[in-house]
């Protein structure tokens, strides 16, 4: 016999002292948290959270929990990554229930893999709780399907800001028809991104969009082409975080947008 839903939701709910939970907070809207994520946030002794985690999500924490900000913006890291990794080890060794709360999904441009490697090397038990990554959540709220039988049979996620500060991507692989390209952390280099995609084969009038603070009340979507989008984005004075979507699926935005922006 199938178990009733409430009983299923209660399974594996309790956080274990001395364990680090890497929890995906989703793209911004607190209602997009998983049930597992919400429960762990409420049970944590310590929450180490990122810049992209909404304050309304932190409101779910136990009032007695310690909340440590470890956010990162370009050129401004509250904690260097190496120190952050060791902080998680130290907290776990104090037999605390530690939630490492990360925007989106921990394993998609969230440096979750680096943090888990350190935990493994120091013998710290851990669990990874997936979250809705920005590409999926933001594109959905912007009315842009990432795949579509008529326009895109593949989808590629890339970051517009590499570890060494360059934008050295696989341009021939990205400048292909029949796919959607989603670019995280690319607003600063938007002009360079668009220029390179055109230079490697996509037409200047290829559809492209940039979405500000997707899934939140501050969401704004600007659509255009590879040629026009840098100018349009500058005119719109968008505020990070932003997500760039390139591909023919962007043409569906006007018809499929359901989320009331602003």
User: What's 16's DSSP letter?
Assistant: -
Q: What percent of the chain has pLDDT over 70?
A: 90
Q: What is the pLDDT of residue 71?
A: 78
Q: What is the pLDDT of residue 126?
A: 98
Q: What is the pLDDT of residue 167?
A: 81
Q: What is the pLDDT of residue 165?
A: 60
**pLDDT tens digits for range 37-89:** 999 999 999 999 998 898 999 999 999 999 999 976 555 556 899 999 999 99
More confident of the two residues 64 and 9: 64
Main-chain dihedrals φ then ψ at residue 215, nearest 5 degrees: 75, 5
C-alpha 129 chain-centroid distance: 14
Burial track 124-150 (b if 16+ CB lie within 10 A, e otherwise): bebebbbbbbbbbbbbbbbbbbbebee
d(CA 78, CA 84): 9
| Integer angstrom CA distances of residue 210 from 45, 229, 244 | 37, 8, 4
Is residue 36 helix, strand or coil? helix
Q: What is the pLDDT of residue 151?
A: 98
Q: What is the pLDDT of residue 163?
A: 57
User: What's 249's DSSP letter?
Assistant: G
Main-chain dihedrals φ then ψ at residue 241, nearest 5 degrees: -80, 150
* CATH number given to 5-129: 3.40.1010.10
User: Which residue ranges does the chain devote to CATH 3.40.1010.10?
Assistant: 5-129
CB contact at 8 A, 105 and 53: no
126 Rama class: left (phi>0) / alpha (psi -120 to 50) / beta? beta
| Integer angstrom CA distances of residue 236 from 188, 233, 247 | 14, 5, 21
Q: Superfamily for 134-256? A: Tetrapyrrole methylase, C-terminal domain (3.30.950.10)
**pLDDT tens digits for range 220-252:** 999 999 999 999 999 999 999 999 999 999 999
Q: Which residues have CB under 8 Å from 61's CB, separation 6+?
A: 41, 42, 44, 47, 67
Whether this model's pTM surpasses 0.85:
yes
Q: What is the DSSP string of 135-175?
A: HHHHHHHTT--S-BTTTBSEEEEEESS-TTS-----HHHHS
Give me the active site residues, please.
Answer: 50, 72
User: Which residue ranges does the chain devote to CATH 3.30.950.10?
Assistant: 134-256
Q: What is the pLDDT of residue 1?
A: 47
């Amino acid at each position: 016999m199938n178990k009733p839903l409430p009983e299923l939701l209660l399974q594996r709910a309790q956080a274990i002292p001395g364990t680090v939970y890497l929890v995906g907070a989703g793209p911004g809207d607190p209602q997009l948290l998983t049930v597992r994520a919400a429960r762990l946030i409420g049970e944590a002794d310590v929450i180490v959270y990122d810049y992209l985690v909404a304050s309304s999500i932190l409101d779910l924490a136990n009032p007695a929990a310690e909340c440590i900000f470890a956010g990162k913006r370009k050129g401004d890291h509250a904690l260097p990554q190496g120190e952050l990794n060791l902080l998680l080890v130290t907290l776990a060794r104090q037999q605390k229930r530690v939630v490492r709360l990360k925007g989106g999904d921990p394993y998609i441009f969230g440096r979750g893999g680096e943090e888990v490697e350190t935990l493994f090397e120091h013998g710290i038990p851990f669990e990874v709780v997936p979250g809705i990554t920005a590409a999926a959540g933001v594109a959905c709220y912007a009315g842009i399907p990432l795949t579509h039988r008529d326009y895109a049979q593949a989808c590629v996620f890339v970051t517009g800001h590499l570890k060494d500060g360059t934008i050295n991507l696989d341009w021939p692989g990205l400048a292909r028809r029949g796919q959607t390209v989603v670019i995280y952390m690319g607003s600063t280099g938007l002009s360079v991104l668009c220029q390179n995609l055109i230079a490697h084969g996509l037409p200047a009038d290829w559809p492209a969009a940039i979405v500000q603070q997707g899934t939140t009340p501050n969401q704004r979507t600007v659509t255009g082409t590879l040629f026009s989008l840098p100018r349009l984005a500058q005119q719109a004075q968008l505020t990070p975080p932003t997500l760039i979507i390139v591909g023919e699926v962007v043409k569906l935005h006007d018809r499929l947008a359901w989320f009331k922006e602003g």
